[in-house]
Structure 1
Amino acid sequence: MISFLNDYKHELITSGIVLLSLLIIRAITNFTITKVAKKNGINDARIRLIRRYLSVLFLVIAIFVEAYIFGTNPKEITLLFSSVFAIIGIGLFAIWSILSNITSGIIMFFNFPYKVGDKIEIHDKDFPITAIIEDIRAFHLHLRLENGDLVTYPNNLILQKAVTLIEKDAIDDDGEAV
């Protein structure tokens, strides 16, 4: 154990500094996301979702950096991750719409003019929708139609269609439509 600590003293110190730096960056990022979200009236579930995405991103970065610190050749790291991403890419090609919806959910988190409780109209020539936004999830929106039906609408489609805000905060404190 002592010889391990002596042999890898420099790598362990560098790893500690890198991990501490990533934790600090993650804390700052989480604080910023929460502050921006609260300012824009975004609900807590969406805040947690975006924080989770960024935590996974920081974990992947930490794995890359730690492998490099402990002497892995950059070509080997590149080969490993390109192989992994190729396999994932082939596997996910069949379900590209899921990735599209997740990406749209992230975009909607930072730049979506409507929030939970707003009454909107989606201008779709085949299936126009007038509804109240009940929830915004990672993959889809929950929309409550005027007749009481619940419609789940994919995030990628909401970014592709024209949407009109009919009424802000169309839900009262009891969860009932105004």
Structure 2
Amino acid sequence: MSFLEQFIKQEIATGLVIIVVVFLRLIVTKAVKRYSSSYAGIEKRTNLVIKYINLLISFLAIISLIVIWGVQTSDIFITLSSIATIVGVAMFAQWSILSNVTSGVILFFSFPFKIGDVIKIHDKDFPVEGEIIDINAFHIDLVSPSGERMVYPNNMLLQKGISIIQPNSEGKGFTD
């Protein structure tokens, strides 16, 4: 019995998984772009969210292929729990990175502000006011009224009170 005949079911299932992954990626990309098209200035965030979702789809496809090709489910769970433990310990030391990425995704879907908005961050010890010039996965870039460029972490944006000041509320923005 040849290899092709011996594993025909697995080969067909693998082909179906690949087709599903391609279609899911296309559908998700179109859906996220359609959702973000009504908001100006968020192209970078749109591409970032698409990358995150595509990574999740790829991860699920790999798990599906492992199951299709006969790896025991208990072995998968043991491996995944070991990986999760190692990643958890490593991320505990780097919780701010994970927190900033998660906050970046939350900010993408909630759209509390956009590039060009002037915001005031109500921090008791260090209040910040500036115009948003860029929004990234980990932080936003601000320009203060005096022209100073500031970087503010996304997780702090969700923890502090923020006032959105219209750029033309006093007749001018901070940058030209």
Which interval holds the TM-score relative to the shorter structure?
Answer: over 0.9
**Residues 55 and 83 (structure 1 numbering): CA distance in 2 closer, same or farther, change over 3 Å?**
same
CA distance in 1, matches of 2:119, 2:15: 49
2:131–2:174: 8 Å Cα contact kept in structure 1?
no
Query: What's the counterpart of residue 79 of structure 1?
Result: 78
The CA deviation at 1:43 is 2.2
CA distance in 2, matches of 1:33, 1:46: 10
Q: Which ranges of structure 1 fall in alignment gaps of 5 or more residues?
A: none
Amino acid across the alignment from 1:166: I
CA distance in 2, matches of 1:169, 1:79: 57
1:27 lines up with 2:39 in the alignment: no
Amino acid across the alignment from 1:123: H
The CA deviation at 1:127 is 0.9
Amino acid across the alignment from 2:146: N
The CA deviation at 1:94 is 0.3
Query: Percent same amino acid at aligned positions?
Result: 38
Query: What's the counterpart of residue 175 of structure 2?
Result: 177
CA distance in 1, matches of 2:10, 2:168: 54
The CA deviation at 1:157 is 0.5
Deviation per residue, 1:118-144 (Å, 9 max, x gap): 111111111111100000000000011
SS at the partner of 2:61? helix
1:119–1:169: 8 Å Cα contact kept in structure 2?
no
CA distance in 2, matches of 1:176, 1:22: 45
Amino acid across the alignment from 2:106: I
**Residues 157 and 176 (structure 1 numbering): CA distance in 2 closer, same or farther, change over 3 Å?**
closer
Query: What's the counterpart of residue 149 of structure 2?
Result: 150
Amino acid across the alignment from 1:37: S
The CA deviation at 1:27 is 1.0
